[in-house]
Structure 1
Amino acid sequence: MDQQTLLIPASPIFSFRECHWFLDRDYDDCMHTIRGESVLKAIRTPFGDILFGVSGDGEFLKTTILNGPVTPDARNFLADYVADWFDVRRDIGPFYELLRADSRVAYMAEAFRGLRLVGISDMFEAICWSIIGQQINLTFAYKLKRRMVERYGTHIGWGGEVFPVFPAPEVLAGANIEELRAMQFSQKKAEYVVGIARAFAEGKLCPELIAALPDFESRQKALTAYKGVGIWTANYVLMKTFRMPEGIPHGDVGLLNALTGHGIIGERSEKDKIEAFFNAFPGWETYLTFYLWRSLAVKRLP
């Protein structure tokens, strides 16, 4: 096999098709590009920017470096990145056993078989994206993200196209608030994004510091100490970047709609029923959240 191609093994019960569906939901997400059955993405690495394509190859993720370094260190970094992005090293068999034990969601084990919790490996990107999306619809949130990324990020040119790389904290830390306002950021969101970028640029906030904390509560507290990061945003980041099962984005409208549609709650205020439902999935709460979000695309819930 050539140096540009990696085959990343997935643990059993994996479907690239299901993960591809999640990434191809008709939103204008500038951070990846769908090309047929493949996903193209450009990222910043310690070894230089890399543009790569990912596709399914049986029980493997076929990852091809299209532009950028192909040294052993760069290849190892990319393999770990892709494996984390698609969460392919996790055995989700125990989660499926719990699904099948609850008649209200048992159908998911077959309907969404192999879907993994597609993450956001870059903690800085995850926080910025969550702040951008606060209290606006997703379509508009993706527009704001694209404007910011195209202005402050770098890019890789390949095949006559341009593939954006998310801005470095050091660059966004120096962003002009009024320039962000001109992109239709609210005053507060512009201030929050720049403030978070400065915290990263100054080394006050980084994945290693959060990962070193002993439990979910301490990590959540460390994140919410920053302006613009409330409980929902902290939980979203702990879910998507750190894969913590406790990171349920409580109050999320889509999640509440799915819970109602499955007859788990009758009213959105029934917090005791929500807690009891998630308590039956210990260690898999955020996976269950992800599958409930996936169910929103099904025309008729069971």
Structure 2
Amino acid sequence: MQHELHTDSNLSISDFTKDHGQDLLIHVPEEFSFTENYSHLSTATNESLYTLRNGMIYKAIAVGQEATIVEISDYDEHYMLIRFVEEDQSISPALRTGVAQYVYDWFDLGTDLAPFYKMAAQDPLLQQAVVSFYGLRNMGIPDLYEAICWGILGQQINLGFAYTLKRRFVEHFGQALIYNGESYWLFPTAETIATLTVDELAAAGMTTVKKCEYLIDTAQLIVNGTLSKDELLQATDVKQAEKLLVKIRGIGPWTAHYVLMRCLRMPSAFPIDDVGLHNSIKHVLKMDAKPTKAHILELSAGWSLWESYATFYLWRFLY
């Protein structure tokens, strides 16, 4: 299937991790830079789901009914280190495996970027991006409900306010794990939001009734099994997957492609109407006005099967 062309989908957890005492080492590909990915994460100044401190990433991760806090850091040119910060916590094999899988997916470590870099080096719009941000991965959102929520919350508002809404949503309805007096938040589950009313969501600071309805409706679809990541991954191509998503109230083409790009990892996902993409192209080409859709299609003609990464790298010029 199209979205599997660049990924090692048959790897098991043992293929990319190894024990390091109580901690884990996770293998990184050659085209990877911890520094570049850390720098990208640091641009989110109001992020509620991870904390950056002294070159390390701290994040709460849930696996089924279990959850823990991890510290992710650079180890050497071949590995990142995942440290379970609460050393007295009993880490079950399932939680250990799930954390490793989450980090692997979050950093998109299964994608071979060598063909992308080869293509981009010859592309006038991308060649500077791959030099400036070499080793950057498409930092994703492994959880489908979280990815959809972020897309819905970000509709028709600027990025800064979207982060504010996300923080309100997380801190009202998510779960916090406490370590050394600090809170590390887990994103609200679909099961939690599915039981809420529009008034309850609005009281938490959500800006419009429609967005509240979309967040609840989508949660209910996930809880009752109508919508799932597995179902979307069965789509034969990105167009079919987009059709499955845009049938859902509150999800238009932009949100659908955002989800397919950041969660499903479909390389052809292309949020062509994204304002950030337009501004990035304008910035790179030093244009007086934002490009038209026709111009973007012309510029992206050589990106086949890499539209997602091309978009992500262009975004990085701005944030």
**TM-score range for the pair, normalised by the shorter chain length:** over 0.9
**Which residue does the alignment assign to 1:240?**
262
Higher relative contact order, chain-length normalized (CA < 8 Å, sep 6+): 2
CA distance in 1, matches of 2:240, 2:93: 36
CA distance in 2, matches of 1:246, 1:2: 37
Deviations 1:73-124 (A, max 9, x none): 2222211110110112222111111121124432223211101110000011
Q: How does 1:62-77 map to 2 (within 5 A)?
A: 62-67=81-86, 69-77=90-98
Deviations 1:165-208 (A, max 9, x none): 11111110112311222233211001110111111111111111
**Which residue does the alignment assign to 2:104?**
83
Aligned AA (2:33): S
1:217 aligns with 2:235: no
1:43, 1:165 within 8 Å by CA — same for their partners in 2?
yes
1:8 aligns with 2:29: no
**Which residue does the alignment assign to 1:101?**
122
Of residues 205, 222, 245, the one that matches 1:200 is 222
**Between Structure 1 and Structure 2, how many residues are aligned?**
297
1:53 aligns with 2:74: no
CA distance in 2, matches of 1:6, 1:37: 18
Q: How does 1:179-194 map to 2 (within 5 A)?
A: 179-185=200-206, 186-194=208-216
Of the structure 1 ranges 192-201 and 39-48, higher mean CA displacement relative to structure 2 is found in 39-48
Pair 1:100–1:211, CA change in 2 (3 A): same
**Which residue does the alignment assign to 1:174?**
195
Aligned AA (1:65): F
Please identify runs of 4+ aligned residues in structure 1 that moved more than 4 A. 264-267
CA distance in 1, matches of 2:124, 2:221: 46
1:31, 1:41 within 8 Å by CA — same for their partners in 2?
yes
CA distance in 2, matches of 1:91, 1:295: 22
CA distance in 2, matches of 1:237, 1:77: 21
Of residues 141, 149, 152, the one that matches 1:131 is 152
1:266 CA drift (Å) = 6.5
Q: Give the match's secondary structure for 2:127.
A: coil
1:265, 1:273 within 8 Å by CA — same for their partners in 2?
no
Of residues 150, 155, 158, the one that matches 2:176 is 155
1:264 CA drift (Å) = 8.7
Q: Give the match's secondary structure for 1:262.
A: helix
CA distance in 2, matches of 1:103, 1:176: 50
Of the structure 1 ranges 112-121 and 53-62, higher mean CA displacement relative to structure 2 is found in 53-62
**Which residue does the alignment assign to 2:283?**
261
1:264, 1:273 within 8 Å by CA — same for their partners in 2?
no
State the identity %.
Answer: 36
Aligned AA (2:172): R
Name stretches of at least 5 consecutive residues in structure 1 with no aligned partner.
Answer: 298-302
Deviations 1:126-156 (A, max 9, x none): 0011101111122221121112211211121
Q: Give the match's secondary structure for 1:12.
A: coil
CA distance in 2, matches of 1:90, 1:274: 25
CA distance in 2, matches of 1:226, 1:103: 37
Of residues 25, 32, 47, the one that matches 2:43 is 25
Pair 1:179–1:73, CA change in 2 (3 A): closer
**Which residue does the alignment assign to 1:115?**
136
